[in-house]
Structure 1
Amino acid sequence: MTLDGKNVARRGAAALAIALVAGGGGYWLGQREGAPATESGSGKDGRKILYWYDPMVPQEHYDNPNSLSSMGMKTIPKYADAAPDTGPGVSVNADARQNLGMRVVAAEMGALPSSLTVTGSIDFNRRKVAIVQARSGGFVTRVYARAPGDVIGAGAPIADLQLPEWGGAQGEFLAVKRLGRPDLTAAARQRLRLMGMSDTLIGEVERSGRTSGTVTIRSPIGGVIQTLDVRAGMTLAAGQSLAQVSGIGTVWLNAAVPEAQAGLVRMEQSVSATLAAFPGEIFAGRVTAILPSTQAESRTLTVRIELANRGGRLRPGMFASVALAGDGKPALLVPSEAVIRTGTRTLVMLALADGRYRPAEVRTGREGGGKTEIIAGLTAGEKVVASGQFLLDSEASLAGVAARPIGGGQ
């Protein structure tokens, strides 16, 4: 080998040695920078790291930042100087609360306003019905200008009847009266009453001394003529119906209440109704009957409400919007927006001390006016989150925070 060849060989060996040293140093530095920190390790900012974990499964601890949790997520460090866990729940600092727009309210006792608004229709008051009949056989001599659907007042004439039986009985009464026997006269007068004659008619016969077999049939109540089965010249039998009159001083409002809300209705409950025919006017009434059967097609219960009908303005067939008043009983109330319904249970997010929050299971009751009744799971004065609670509930679920069970105490 020549001198030049030896120089070339020495240069090549030196370059290889330098490359090995450089490679070994780089490998060692890389191992130092990537070495996992243990409980005695520290992060780049000098903070002591206890372990690495996944917030979705905080119970799993790892000693290597390159580890993946059972959820397949990259782990983050848990620092020794982090705020200690002071109790169950999730912690939210003031800035985060402001950014979330969180609103906290206290559960309080109050009366639940009614939210039960249904529809109904006006109908005749079926308890205010008068049947006009012939009390004795005879025939019709005159019919007044009446027709079904006419509105008449109490005492309005319907027809004049000639009743021969009445004329004969009145003649007998006058003959007995002339005998001067008070006891017989009283008995004859009572017979006329039993035949259907009014005291006014009997008094007129007694004063005039003349019989009157013609009688005017009048409506005993004011209202609407539903049926009119009398014509001039007709022959009548005793007890035959001449007309049917429905009173309109009061009307019924038949409201259709959904089956699921039937428990909110009670007898004598106050009701307010509005009709499109009278905008801005409220009609007050009360529940007089809850019908025992449910409509199979609509799954509704019919509730009968009685309304005063001043001036006869409320006409059968009109539709109305019906609001049933609440029962006024005190109840523990929270805003309805604070209630979280998961399908299997109902939760609210409690606001604890030091900016901590924890879900609590509750049992709810009625709703109305933006309020929900809490039957169990809360006490008066406890604070719940009314805005932003869904994000807190998600965070609590991720952190594995268990909801406070019903009956678990404050």
Structure 2
Amino acid sequence: MHPQILQDHPGNCPICNMTLVKVAKGKTKLHSEAVHVDSLAQQKIGVKLATATTATIAQSIRSFATVTADESKVVSVNPKVEGWLRKVAIQGIGQPVRQGQVLYEIYSPELQQRQREYIDLLTRKDGLLGDSMTVVSSNAAMIGSLAKEKFRARARLLAADMSEDLITLLEQSRRVIDVVPVRAVHSGTITALSVHEGNYVNPMQQICSYVGTDTVWAEVSLLPDQANLIRNGDRVTVRSSVDNGHLEYARVSMDTLQFDPVSRTAKLRFALRNDRGNFRPGAYAEVSIEAAKRKALQIPRDALIRTGQGDFVVVAEPDNHFRRVKVTRGIESADNVSILAGLAEGSKVVANGQFLLDGAASMQALQARLESRL
């Protein structure tokens, strides 16, 4: 139990009173550098071993990204005719809107006149067809001309933001719709609101704007040495700050990489799918980039002991002995770290409980040095 106890004659350990075992020839140095822990003690302190293996590893670059809207999805809502706003169904910036949702209602004499013209064309066409709905040869040319006029009048109504269902209702009822609701053509989030109920508006005024959020951008800042590691196609994992359990994956596109000459940092953008709305513009997201992928000898990150004097691991040796070994580490992923020197493939390292064993090994080495000076 206490290999630091050495003497030149048989006897018992002064600490635990166990019988001292004769050291085999050539093994004195090993036991002076290693600490012995029996199986029962290993179970009590929770010692877990891991094997150093050669496998593919990627440098894990962790950072935070700012979620921004996709500029190509911005919709500016302007009235197509002059009139008065009877109702505005938007409360303010940040409000989500759904496709088909009413944005505002407008009372427009100009739009009413377009409806009357359309109804007049429908009435004239019905009169030429007659009750039998058969086309008289003398009226055929006029009916064709009315059909073209009807198509153009209907297109003018659609251009004035009258929906298909409202035009169908107009055709059936032949009555002018005084107040026309205008609906959202896409789903999104309101980014601007410029008017209120009762305002007189014209096509030069913007009523509101909204942006589609089914696709968003994640913009991350990188240091110059981090930017040098990334390549086209590197895998990116993005975690939502709204729902920590939601992850989205993307690939690095070097076309989006830009350098800031003032801060000397690099800006990198990723396009993210946002069907569930877990990435909101203006919010933050956690980003992990798998860069500099290569094959290397690696161990779990938890097995590495980082100190001011270097990096160390505790290696398991035969007969329940453990020895502290200095290593040179390389790139790190989320779970593993590559080892450039100091460790051989297949070596068993302690992945849990290594700090207790390392402390015991350090005390034993100190004791050995003190004894060597006597």
Query: TM class, shorter-chain normalised?
Result: 0.5 to 0.7
With normalisation by structure 1, the TM-score equals 0.51
1:225 aligns with 2:190: yes
Indicate how the Cα distance of structure 1 residues 114 and 186 shifts in structure 2: closer, same or farther if over 3 A, else same: farther
Query: Is the contact between residue 219 and residue 245 of structure 1 (CA under 8 Å) also seen in structure 2?
Result: no
Q: How far apart are the structure 2 equivalents of 1:386 and 1:307?
A: 41
Would you say the 8 A contact 2:64–2:220 is kept in 1? yes
Verify the 8 A CA contact 2:83 2:200 in the aligned structure 1. yes
Greater relative contact order structure (CA < 8 Å, 6+ sep)? 2
In structure 2, what is the equivalent of residue 234 of structure 1? 199
- Report deviation, 1:161: 0.8
Percent identity between the aligned chains?
21
Q: Which residue of structure 1 aligns with residue 280 of structure 2?
A: 315
Residue in 2 that maps onto 1:144: 89
CA contact (8 A) 1:285 1:306 kept: no
Q: Which amino acid aligns with 2:87?
A: R
Distance in 2 separating the partners of 1:97 and 1:122: 56
Change (3 A) 1:264 1:182: farther
CA separation of 1:327 and 1:273: change in aligned 2, threshold 3 A: same
1:272 aligns with 2:229: no
- What is the aligned counterpart of 2:296 among 333, 336, 341? 333
> Cα gap change, 1:326/1:187 in structure 2, threshold over 3 Å: closer, same or farther?
farther
Alignment of 1:132-281 (within 5 A): 132-144=77-89, 146-180=91-125, 181-194=143-156, 195-196=159-160, 197-266=162-231, 269-274=234-239, 278-279=243-244, 281=245
Q: Residue by residue, what CA displacement relative to the aligned partner does 1:268-322 show, whole Å, maximum 9, x if unpaired?
A: 643223356645x251231476535312343222222233445534333333321
Cα distance between partner residues in 2 of 1:133 and 1:288: 37
SS at match of 1:188: helix
* Residue 371 (structure 1) aligns with: 338
Equivalent residue in structure 2 for 1:283, among 247, 258, 263? 247
* Structure 2: segments with no counterpart, 5+ residues: 1-25, 35-50, 126-142, 302-328, 345-374
**Residue 212 of structure 1: SS of its match in structure 2?**
coil
Unaligned residue ranges in structure 1 (runs of 5+): 1-92, 338-363, 374-383, 388-410
Any conservation in 1 of the 2:63–2:287 contact (CA below 8 Å)?
Answer: yes
Q: CA deviation at 1:244?
A: 0.9
Q: Give the match's secondary structure for 1:192.
A: helix
Q: Structure 1 residues 107, 271: closer, same or farther in 2, change over 3 A?
A: closer
Q: State the SS of the aligned residue for 1:118.
A: strand
- RMSD across aligned positions (CA): 3.7
C-alpha distance in structure 2 between counterparts of 1:278 and 1:168, whole Å: 51
In 2, are the aligned partners of 1:335 and 1:386 still within 8 Å (CA)? no
AA of the residue aligned to 1:133: N
Structure 1 residue 169: deviation in Å? Answer: 2.1
Secondary structure of the structure 2 residue equivalent to 1:189: helix
Instruction: Find 1:121's aligned residue among 60, 66, 74.
Output: 66
Shift of 1:242: 0.8
> Please, which moves more after superposition, 319-328 or 128-137?
319-328
Q: What CA distance in whole angstroms lies between the structure 2 residues aligned with 1:230 and 1:268?
A: 45
Distance in 2 of aligned mates of 1:267 and 1:286: 11
The answer to whether the 8 Å contact 2:117/2:153 transfers is: no
In 2, the alpha carbon distance for the partners of 1:138 and 1:372 equals 73
Alignment check: 8 A CA contact 2:231 2:252 kept: no
Residues 169, 301 of structure 1: alpha-carbon distance in 2 compared, 3 angstrom cutoff: same
SS at match of 2:256: strand
Alignment partners' CA distance in 1, 2:89 and 2:240: 35
Quote the Cα distance in structure 2 between the aligned partners of 1:179 and 1:286: 59
Return the match for 1:112 from 51, 57, 67.
57
Post-superposition shift, 1:113? 2.3
1:37-76 equivalences under 5 Å are none
Residues 286 and 179 of structure 1: is their aligned pair in 2 closer, same or farther, counting only changes over 3 Å?
same
Give CA deviations for 1:67-122 in whole Å, capped at 9, x if unaligned. Answer: xxxxxxxxxxxxxxxxxxxxxxxxxx998799788xxx9995x4232322222222
For 2:343, the equivalent position in structure 1 comes to 386
Q: Which has the greater radius of gyration?
A: 1
